Amino acid sequence: MSTRNHAFTEPAKKHLGQHFLHERGIINKIVQAVDPQPGDRLVEIGPGQGAITFPLLDRHGELTVIEFDRDLIFPLTEAARAHGTLEVIHRDVLAVDFTALTGGEGQIRLVGNLPYNLSSPILFHALEHAAAIRDMHFMLQKEVVDRMAAGPGSKVYGRLGVMLQAYCHVTALFDVPPGAFRPPPKVDSAVVRLVPRAPGTIGIVDADKFAAVVRDAFGQRRKTLRNALSKLCDGAAIEAAGIRPDARAEQIEVTDFVRLANHLAASS
């Protein structure tokens, strides 16, 4: 297959949060991080002008992409012919059933330069289908990746990181400067790897209860858990789960939030 760069120059649409990657060195690092293997079912979110799409096709031979912008579909499809077999799903990614993309067998691997204004909704949508996903390699705003990977005690440790780390192993891979995009965004970016945990190792009894505990705990960061969680439980219940009621959310390990949520679920 051809390794020529067939990326085209459709202008970016600001209202869709489009910033098209063009830096060859960064593109190569992403493809190396994904390291597609025979038999993998690769799905790219937001292929844009094909900067990652075509190198992945050159490496793997086939790829499914999810693209919302109708104007990009025809040029993507035409340019892809020189690289491999491309399946295009023209839909809002939040309306795509990732589990259905497995075809009832195996798991998919997600890749994407996510629109920064939709990154969190896309991440949580992927979590709903975690059992069908082997891993995810996403380019995001660096600030978001920092929050995703942060641990207790960090200034950026919060709801996003706890929710993702409860269900996935999260690894920040490398930073990407604004100049790697066209047009350049006003912020630094970063690439992150998420590997969903095996269902039997997550240990969350009630997903809704867990989400509610994490949401309320970080709702007002300066409050102690006793005060922040007052709508869900009292200090005695927090202490019964082995956690100090006077601690603040940013001091608490992910496993502690799981234990507290499970205790409350069992008591309700």
pLDDT single digits (tens) 211-222: 999 999 999 888
| 109 close to 31: Cβ distance less than 8 angstroms | no
| 32 close to 54: Cβ distance less than 8 angstroms | no
Confidence of residue 182 (pLDDT cuts 50, 70, 90): confident
Tens digit of each residue's pLDDT (9 = 90 or more) over 101-137? 999 999 999 999 998 889 999 999 999 999 999 999 9
First to last CA, the chain: 59
Residue 9 has pLDDT above 60, yes or no: no
**Higher confidence at residue 236 or residue 22?**
236
Residue 17 has pLDDT above 80, yes or no: no
The beta strands (E) that lie in the chain are given as 20-21, 41-45, 62-67, 85-90, 108-113, 133-141, 168-176, 181-182, 189-196
DSSP tag of 95 = G
Residue 10 has pLDDT above 90, yes or no: no
From the annotation, which residues make up the binding site for S-adenosyl-L-methionine?
A: 19, 21, 46, 67, 92, 113
| 149 close to 161: Cβ distance less than 8 angstroms | yes
Residue 62 has pLDDT above 90, yes or no: yes
CB atoms within 10 A of CB 102: 18
Nearest to 115 by CA among 26, 45, 41: 45
Mean pLDDT for 166-177 is: 98
Domain with CATH 1.10.8.100 in the chain: 207-267
SS3 205: coil
Nearest to 266 by CA among 203, 200, 199, 197: 203
SS3 257: helix
Distance from C-alpha of 206 to C-alpha of 199, rounded to nearest angstrom: 13
Residue 227 has pLDDT above 60, yes or no: yes
- What is the CATH topology of the domain spanning 14-200? Rossmann fold (3.40.50)
From the annotation, which residues make up the binding site?
A: 19, 21, 46, 67, 92, 113
pLDDT of 19 reads 63
As assigned by CATH, the class of the 207-267 domain is mainly alpha
Distance from C-alpha of 5 to C-alpha of 77, rounded to nearest angstrom: 14
Confidence of residue 183 (pLDDT cuts 50, 70, 90): confident
Domain with CATH 3.40.50.150 in the chain: 14-200
